[in-house]
Amino acid sequence: MTTHDDQNRPMTARPSAGLRGRMQVPGDKSISHRAVMLGALAIGETTISGLLEAGDVLRTVHAMAALGARLERHRDGAWHITGCGVGGFVEPPGPIDFGNSGTGVRLAAGLVATTPVKVIFTGDESLSRRPMGRVIEPLEQFGAAIATAPGGRLPMRVTGAAHPVPVTWELPVPSAQVKSALLLAGLNAPGETTVIEPVPTRDHTEKMLRAFGAGIEEERTPEGRRITLRGHKELSPCDLTVPGDPSSAAFPLAAALICPNSEVTVKGMLLNPTRTGLIETLHEMGADITIANPRASGGEIVGDVTARTSALRGVTVPAARAPAMIDEYPILAVLAAFAEGVTRMEGLAELRVKESDRIAATAAGLAACGVEVKTGDDWMEVTGRGGEVRGGGPIATHLDHRIAMSFLVLGLAAEEPVTVDDGAVIATSFPQFAERMRALGADIEPTEEAREG
């Protein structure tokens, strides 16, 4: 469990060597959200083991309870969910607060868009700055009425369609969240709902819909990947085990690559091809990363991934790879700072509307640590320092958990300690981050000011 100190702010990482050990990272966040939501729709009891019990997913748990599902955590750590049936959600007694979870609120909007209920979605300061327009427009095609604050932002009121119609929608930009929201909406619409994605994105929703018995088909066409879902089909409950989150695993693996004399293994990490763009990029950079014991778990492939201290070189990461590693660019930029030469990352427009403007936040943090970085609307270029990064700069996290963890990793291999202004935000996805990194030998602690406070 996370200690109280780990929730204080700020938090400091100091130069560390010899990170060694095996660790388990929390369950995958994307899969956890979807498992809870589909369990809440299925007829019968779904059992989920390994669910990520962090802020974002627990918001989804509370949301599904507010909509009428029954969710219980048993002593063995497994969650048991008794669903309402497709179209069976009830109107919640008040607004549903999704905290910092963009995935949760966008997918939940899809769930209720074709159910005749009225729901108000709210969020924290960070989520309330994130635009919802790209999910609102297609959901309104089903017949939902959606109103937001100025700029298409939260709070958002969704009045679900009493008589929804099926939709065919081509994604203008790659987005697993928008695709998933549309497929979830299609569950309670008659006929066939079709989503066309010119660039494939993570396919957890499709895999999980199939596991719950939904009528879903996929085909490759000249226009892209075409996903068709047949509506008005009840879902069957499942017994699921959530694999380790590759986005969380990226941090201990990255630390092992840049800290001297290090070797770290992450057990049971998700190896879905739509999520392994970082591993592919790191191999191109010369990283010593190996995968052992690949196996099936919960309809996904998992394996044990080991990273060892490596001399990295700069590369160009093509835009086509962005959907397979969109959450890992901040930690990749940190690794690029320790590489030899220039690393250029393209196709990053999505990062402008994450928990923070991640391009701006990453660039500012690197500059504060003495690293040369250039940015554009959808690209970032980091000039590596061949392993000699000054560090030292105070880092503004902007309420973004991945910015916080990325720069704490930088501090482990820099010449000077690095302090982030908020350790509490890490609980959004990886509550045990500091504790588990310390078990490997990392020097990550709340600052004295945080302890005294």
Q: How confident is the model at residue 447 (pLDDT cuts 50, 70, 90)?
A: confident
Q: Which of 118-122, 124-128, 293-297, 449-453 is predicted least confidently?
A: 449-453
Lateral strand order in the sheet of 239-241: 70-73, 79-82, 45-49, 239-241
Question: What digits encode the pLDDT tens for the residues 229-249?
Answer: 999 999 999 999 999 999 999
pLDDT of residue 1: 31
* pLDDT above 50 (res 341): yes
Strands 263-270 and 288-297: unpaired
The arithmetic mean of pLDDT across residues 64-81, rounded, is 97
Within the chain, all domains assigned CATH 3.65.10.10 are found at 4-27+243-452, 29-240
First to last CA, the chain: 21
Question: What digits encode the pLDDT tens for the residues 357-397?
Answer: 999 999 999 999 999 999 999 999 999 999 899 999 899 99
- CA-to-CA distance for 49 and 207, rounded, in angstroms? 17
β-partners of residue 289 are 307
Between 114 and 350, whose confidence is greater? 114
Strands 79-82 and 118-122: unpaired
* pLDDT above 60 (res 116): yes
* pLDDT above 50 (res 449): yes
Q: How many residues does the chain have?
A: 453
pLDDT of residue 450: 44
pLDDT of residue 354: 79
Q: Which residues are catalytic?
A: 327
Q: Which of 1-10, 77-86, 104-113 is predicted least confidently?
A: 1-10
* pLDDT above 60 (res 453): no
The arithmetic mean of pLDDT across residues 192-221, rounded, is 95
The arithmetic mean of pLDDT across residues 393-419, rounded, is 96
* pLDDT above 90 (res 92): yes
Question: What digits encode the pLDDT tens for the residues 159-195?
Answer: 999 999 999 999 998 899 999 999 999 999 999 999 9
β-partners of residue 265 are 22, 306
The CATH code belonging to domain 4-27+243-452 is: 3.65.10.10
- CA-to-CA distance for 168 and 191, rounded, in angstroms? 11
pLDDT of residue 356: 79
Question: What digits encode the pLDDT tens for the residues 6-21?
Answer: 444 899 999 999 999 9
Q: Which fold has domain 29-240?
A: UDP-n-acetylglucosamine1-carboxyvinyl-transferase; Chain (3.65.10)
pLDDT of residue 300: 87
The arithmetic mean of pLDDT across residues 196-211, rounded, is 94
The two tokens of residue 386 are 């061949």
Question: What digits encode the pLDDT tens for the residues 133-154?
Answer: 999 999 999 999 999 999 999 9
Q: Are 259 and 306 in contact (CB under 8 A)?
A: no
* pLDDT above 90 (res 419): yes
Q: What is the mean pLDDT of the chain?
A: 94
